[in-house]
Amino acid sequence: MANKVHVKKGDRVYVLTGEERGKSGKILRVIPKQNRVIVDGINLMKKHTRPTATNTQGGIIESPAPMDASKVMLICPSCDQPSRIRRERGANGVVRICKRCEKPID
């Protein structure tokens, strides 16, 4: 059975550990098999690129690298705090509920 990642694409998350602890960003991609996520603006890696039509200089660009999903926590859109969630089966399938404010996230 595939890992169930607690966050999904488009979620805002808070970084719990590492050099970028305390920062937040939006999930760009989830890689469930590796339990990893790519977060906009977090864990940036410098990449050397060749000149292209849009970037005629080539050179170094920074792009976010995958990081462990356990290092981030979902920021609840209702209470705007990094929050633990629980899952509940509702009329429209499983919804995630913020344990802090008890509001549904999805």
Tell me the C-alpha distance between 92 and 84, whole Å.
21
Q: Which of 47, 79, 84, 87 binds Zn ion (CB under 5 A)?
A: 79
Candidate segments 4-12, 24-32, 46-54, 91-99, binder of Zn ion by CB under 5 A: 91-99
What DSSP string describes 5-63?
A: -S--TT-EEEE-SSTTTT-EEEEEEEEGGGTEEEETTSSEEEEEE---SS-TT-EEEEE
Give me the residues paired with residue 25 across strands.
Answer: 13
Candidate segments 19-27, 44-52, 57-65, 68-76, binder of Zn ion by CB under 5 A: 68-76
Q: Is 101 in the site for Zn ion (CB under 5 A)?
A: yes
Q: Is 27 in the site for Zn ion (CB under 5 A)?
A: no
If you count them, how many residues does the chain have? 106
Least Å distance, CB 87 to Zn ion, is 15
Q: Is 98 in the site for Zn ion (CB under 5 A)?
A: yes
Q: Is 34 in the site for Zn ion (CB under 5 A)?
A: no
Residues that bind Zn ion (CB under 5 A): 76, 78-79, 98, 100-101
